[in-house]
Amino acid sequence: MQTLKQNRFFHKREFEILESKLSYKEIIPGKSNLEALIPFEDLSNNKASHENSNILFIIFSVFIYFLAFISFISRNDKDYDPDIWKFFSLIATVLLVIFLINKEKSWKIKIPKNNTAVFIYKKIPNEQVVNEFIENIFTSRDKYLRENYMYLDKNLSYENQYENLKWLWRVEAISKQEFDEKYQELKTMFNFDKKEIGFNKNVG
């Protein structure tokens, strides 16, 4: 699956996995639409749980429900409006509904370069579809990075290729074992061991 569309209470998110990047669109009525193309080089391959809600709505809702309760038990008091508890209950319920509508459970995928993130609803359209789509993002990302930065060529700079291998390992596109194997292949290709002159001091 290469596309994912999520609709939730006037809030739309659309994702598409392209050859070298992730397309991300966010549409919120009354606000500017957001469109971004996120290169796989900038995208993390880890997801973290994220929950977003405005706690003030629930605090005010509970407080007004309390006022409604006090008004209800005092409704027969001559100094009280006997129906004011209904008004308080309505306001509290509206605030509670707003809180529930805006409560958001998402997966967060970081974009370390810009200190931002992509947010994907966990269960829209359903949990399995979302999890499969995220796995496809990570698989496509790692495949692209490996194909474009793991290739070794005698005609290219040793140092640049070595830095590419270190970067691939650092962003978890390759394992430590794969790094060691490709690094040894690189040294063999150039017929010398750069480790002896200090290029590998920080490896491992």
Q: What is the pLDDT of residues 8-42, one digit of tens each?
A: 877 899 999 999 999 999 988 777 688 999 999 99
CATH number of 3-51+105-146: 2.30.29
Q: What is the pTM of this model?
A: 0.74
The chain-wide mean pLDDT, for the chain, equals 88
201 pLDDT band (50/70/90 cuts)? very low
Burial 113-126 (b: 16+ CB within 10 A, else e): eeeebbbbbbebee
Quote the Cα angle for 103-104-109, to 5°: 160
pLDDT tens digits, one per residue of 93-115 = 988 887 776 677 899 999 998 88
pLDDT value of position 46:
94
